[in-house]
Amino acid sequence: MPRALAVPFSDCACPGEGGVPDLGEDGIGVGGDEPESWGEGAACRTADPDELFVEGAAQNKAKAICTGCPVRTECLAHALDHRIEHGIWGGMTERERRALLRRRPLVTSWRRLLEAARSEHDRLARPDDEALAWKAAG
């Protein structure tokens, strides 16, 4: 398997950062209109890149870096939307991401899908205002 060039995450030019446009193979810009600055808050930004581009059992250790990362969802969406083939992104291996892409071939924006799912989860996890008012009155 070809090895991806490993550079420190802090040295990466994420789409929209540092004036570097995200261009597809045809030279046409891809992705959303918003610059992606989520990488600044990534738990892996100071990790050795060699820890994130591993194979086999070492991938479980690499995935552990993503546990509790505040931008895990954004990272995973970026990897899925841009079909990044190597490394651990958002707590998923390349094999796991390929399987997810095969199961959901009609998703056009993983960023939007995952943000909507997170919003719905947060909404359901919040205590209902009416239930709180009833409890306070009782």
Task: Compute the distance between CA of residue 40 and CA of residue 9 in angstroms, rounded to an integer.
Answer: 9
Give me the tens of pLDDT residue by residue for the chain, a chain 138 residues long: 444 434 344 444 444 444 444 444 333 344 444 557 888 999 999 988 888 899 999 999 999 999 989 999 999 999 999 999 999 999 999 999 999 999 999 999 999 999 999 899 888 888 666 566 666 666
Q: What is the DSSP letter of 40?
A: G
Can you give the pLDDT at residue 131? Answer: 60
Q: What is the pLDDT of residue 135?
A: 63
Q: Is 89 helix (H, G, I), strand (E, B) or coil?
A: strand
- Three-state DSSP state, 29: strand
DSSP 41: G
Q: In whole angstroms, what is the distance from residue 89 CA to residue 75 CA?
A: 6
Residue 130's pLDDT is what?
58
What pLDDT score was predicted for residue 134?
62
